[in-house]
């Protein structure tokens, strides 16, 4: 097992006033760009990537490094279990894996690290290909080919 490069994290917020919509969009675009360029760890279970279904969306679970994956294993009560994983470029997850899911699908990064550090890449235009985006022209029906 190799560890993935670190660096994909939700931006730390400074100051007491809430950010406006435009600054949030810029922050998310920066995190999305970094995620697309970074290899992340994707755990495997029973020959497939580990996913969870939540809120009508299938989420591919990804982790920025082995410690983040270990925190997830600990949260699941599986700290002593060996976790098989692949190192996968973020862009491959968003551009290839999400459209092949055939259902609304996104990527959840570092889900055991709380709202301050976990990042969700939902199935929307600008994040995933339009054919797999819930708000795209074709919707997910185009991904089920």
- The candidate with the shortest Cα–Cα distance to 6, out of 110, 91, 85, is 110
Say what the pTM is: 0.81
pLDDT tens digits, residue range 32-50? 999 999 999 999 999 999 9
Res 94: pLDDT: 98
The whole-chain average pLDDT of the chain stands at: 86
Res 3: pLDDT: 36
Task: Report the chain (145 residues): mean pLDDT per 10 consecutive residues.
Answer: 46 59 90 97 95 96 96 93 95 97 96 93 96 73 37
Res 20: pLDDT: 76
Whose structure tokens read 């580990």? 50
- For 88-105, b where at least 16 C-beta lie within 10 A, e where not — what string? bbbeebbeebbbebeebb
Q: Residue 120's beta-bridge partner residues?
A: 108
Domain residue ranges of the chain, discontinuous segments joined by +: 40-144
């Amino acid at each position: 097992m190799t560890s993935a490069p670190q660096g994909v994290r939700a931006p730390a917020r400074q100051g007491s006033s809430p950010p406006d919509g435009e600054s949030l969009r810029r922050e998310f675009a920066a995190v999305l760009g970094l995620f697309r360029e970074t290899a992340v760890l994707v755990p495997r279970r029973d020959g497939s990537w580990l996913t969870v279904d939540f809120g009508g969306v299938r989420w591919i679970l990804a982790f920025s490094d082995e410690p983040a994956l270990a925190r997830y294993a600990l949260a699941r009560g599986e700290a002593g279990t060996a976790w098989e994983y692949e190192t996968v470029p973020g862009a491959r997850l968003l551009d290839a894996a999400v459209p092949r899911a055939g259902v609304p699908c996104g990527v959840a990064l570092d889900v055991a690290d709380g709202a301050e550090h976990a990042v969700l890449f939902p199935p929307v235009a600008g994040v995933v290909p339009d054919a797999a985006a819930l708000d795209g022209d074709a919707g997910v029906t185009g991904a089920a080919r």
